[in-house]
Chain A
Amino acid sequence: MYGWMGKILRVDLGAGTCKGESVDPSVAKDYIGGRGLGIYLLRREGDAGVDALAPENPLIMATGPLTGTGAPTGARYMVMTKSPLTGAVTCSNSGGMFPTELKRTGYDAIIFTGRSEAPVYLWLDQGKAELRSAGHLWGKNTHETTDMLQKETDAHAKVACIGPAGEKQVLFASIMNDKHRAAGRSGVGAVMGSKNLKAVVVRGSKGRIPLADPEAFKAFNKEIMDVFNAGVKQAPLGLTVNGTAGVVMTTQNFGVLPTKNWQQGTFDGWEKIHGEELTRRFLKKNTACYGCPIGCGRLTKVDDPRFQGEGEGPEYETVYAMGSNCMIDDLAAIVKANYICNELGMDTITMGATLACAMELVERGYLPENEVGRSLTWGDGEALVELTRMTGMREGFGDQLAQGSYRLADRYGHPELAPVSKKQEFPGYEPRGAQAMGLAYATSPIGGSHMRGDPAYFELFSVPKPMDPHQWEGKAKVTSAFQDLSAIIDSAGLCIFFAVRNLAAKDLGVAPTGVLEYLNAATGLNYTLEELMLAGERIINAERLFLAEAGFSRKDDSLPDRLTRTPAPTGPAKGMVCRLDSMLDEYYEVRGWSENGIPEDGVLKKLGLDRE
């Protein structure tokens, strides 16, 4: 096989054994790799009805055929399992250096099954796999763990690990790799913790990723990079200059910057948390994942004695969740809370959104402050930092916050205050003023997410072409096209930030024209454009079948009443609600799903999928 290494490592944590198996080439073509391979394996290995934290729930780490090939941003891997936060599938995606190194060990993917009796880590050295005791690492944060593991294995090894939050099964614990990159969402770190698996350490310096047609690959790469570099020469990319936090200016001015636990879409203090302020006050240098020409990562340092620290971030999503959404305009506090999340191994979006929900519960008198153990009011940066740490350690009230906003709000009798779909908190785009975002949140297989098909591109960023963010008619078709595209990008091992803009058609059909060229040169599988687009649709439908088997249907493709019934009080979307129901009807029709959101036989036959 080309592009692929052709092998999957199976690690049985209960038995303590590791063995390799071959990749079926027809599966490789039908599911592309990465996210597609992940859902294929999860459906084959797992039971959608299982408790996510039980040993029977497999944990899959999968690279794509373009990971590590030198295709721009080909640096990604996916973590697929059943989520303890949502009960749905996870598609947690991360870059950095770990995924490329994992692939160079000779394995495209790792399947972890069972549960180890005692803490262990996997040491995968140039194709040789070994489970080692991790008793001495248990309790260490992600940075300490990484340093200790590189010392005892290989100074150049790459590490993906959990921190105390994953060990303590915080429901939104992340898996951190290369210290600062996160497979952040849906609690993949809690699943890893439930298996007593502390880390995966990889060294693959001798491995080479075989390409089917290196000359064609190189020629196409030159074509793409010449266009990209000419554009950058004219004007540097916003993502390079201010990181993703530069998006604050866009969302604020469109009136879709979620504020005060999603009550409104504008924040008076936005200029204090904007990316330009981050650059001016805290940026040390940009960082980039393997093979990335953008470099949106931020290495930052805070000298303020209250919040001293050094690390990476924050991203836009963190700034919204911990900033405007909590009415916090103290950027130093946000940066510090981000560091804590990275070190303890937690998702910043769910952390910030859960805290904002707690602030509203307190304000409305539903949550007594004495249960929190401290004052908790809008705008309190010190509370953000302290409660973030307590959540990661499950100390005091942190133990409640560790359940995420839905379970917290439900405990105090007001689940409607949780900003979630499928119990997962939303990223930072208010759907009353960006209608298709609401549809994307409701239909994303992982619950509230912007990464599984991101309408912000056409609603807010004008990529590839602008669509009016207030319009809802006609959004279903474009949203489903973006979802299919994201499935293809995630499966190939590329990053959305580069691929949507540079490797897809420049119309709202977003056919994956550039991804196709790279994939064919890398794999030699000779996809037609139609076959590749069908693969994207197949992956979305396979995920949907997993959800249906876990009991999900239309009732779960939902948004809180706050967004669908309460008109936006401020900004350009003032007076509007998100027209989810109208868009959902249209969406199911586009997808070939029943009125209840279940894939019909016709679409399954077209895609070669079977129900369980």
Chain B
Amino acid sequence: MHIHVTLYSEFKKFAPDGTGQFDLTLPPGASLGLCLDRLQFPENSEYTALINGRRAHRESLFKEGDTLVVFPLICGG
């Protein structure tokens, strides 16, 4: 299963080539948690993850062709 991933800000360093945008192959039915573990996100990272623009949790499951965006949590505007 392939997904499109965009990592922003300090999370770019977890991208294979450091640019922040890449395609990733995951086992069928993989969760966000598995994906972040595979990218070696530290467990205590404060992030917002969106799958196809909707907020996702570690248990959220991917489908073929999904887009994942991950950026740091910020609070207050």
Contacts and interface: CB of A to CB of B under 8 A. Distances in A.
Contacts of B55: 462, 466, 468-469
Contacts of B76: 239, 244, 247, 296, 461, 496-497, 500
Contacts of A239: 74-76
A457 B76 CA distance: 7
B68 to A, nearest CB: 11
A529 interface: no
Contact of A463 (B44, B50, B71, B75): B75
Interface string A447-489: 0001000001100111100101110000000000000000000
Interface stretch (A249-257, A355-363, A550-558): A249-257
B32 interface: no
Interface in A233-286: 234-235, 237-239, 242, 244, 246-247, 249-251, 253-255, 276
Interface string B49-75: 010111100000000000001011111
A428 B76 CA distance: 12
A230 to B, nearest CB: 11
B77 A572 contact: no
Q: Which of A237, A251, A427, A497 has its CB near the most chain B CB atoms (within 10 A)?
A: A237
Contacts of A250: 48, 71, 74
Contacts of A234: 44
A246 B74 contact: yes
A571 interface: yes
A278 B50 CA distance: 24
Contact of B75 (A251, A253, A501): A501
Contacts of A463: 75
B12 to A, nearest CB: 11
B75 A461 contact: yes
A497 B74 CA distance: 11
Nearest to A239: B76
Given A450-B77, A461-B73, A253 B9 contact: no
Given A235-B46, A249-B71, A316 B53 contact: no
B53 A253 contact: yes
A317 B46 contact: no
A497 B8 CA distance: 23
Contact of B74 (A427, A461, A571): A461
Contacts of B75: 237-239, 457, 461, 463, 497, 500-501
B33 to A, nearest CB: 16
B77 A427 contact: yes
Nearest to A275: B74
A125 B59 CA distance: 61
B55 to A, nearest CB: 6
B27 to A, nearest CB: 26
Nearest to A276: B9
A253 B77 contact: no
Contacts of A255: 53
Contacts of A460: 48
B77 A571 contact: no
Interface string B30-45: 0000000000000011
Nearest to B71: A249
Most buried by A among B54, B73, B74: B74
Contact of A253 (B45, B71, B73): B71
A96 to B, nearest CB: 17
Given A250-B48, A253-B71, A428 B9 contact: no
Contacts of A315: 77
Given A246-B74, A457-B75, A571-B53, 11 more contacts: A235-B45, A235-B72, A237-B75, A238-B73, A250-B48, A250-B71, A276-B9, A428-B77, A461-B74, A470-B54, A500-B75
26 contacts: A235-B45, A235-B46, A235-B72, A237-B75, A238-B72, A238-B74, A247-B77, A249-B74, A250-B74, A253-B50, A253-B71, A254-B50, A276-B9, A296-B76, A315-B77, A316-B77, A427-B77, A429-B77, A461-B73, A461-B74, A461-B76, A462-B55, A463-B75, A470-B54, A500-B76, A572-B53
Interface of A: 234-235, 237-239, 242, 244, 246-247, 249-251, 253-255, 276, 296, 315-317, 427-429, 450, 456-457, 460-463, 466, 468-470, 496-497, 500-501, 571-573
Q: Which 7 A-B pairs have the closest CB atoms?
A: A572-B53, A238-B74, A247-B77, A316-B77, A497-B76, A461-B75, A246-B74
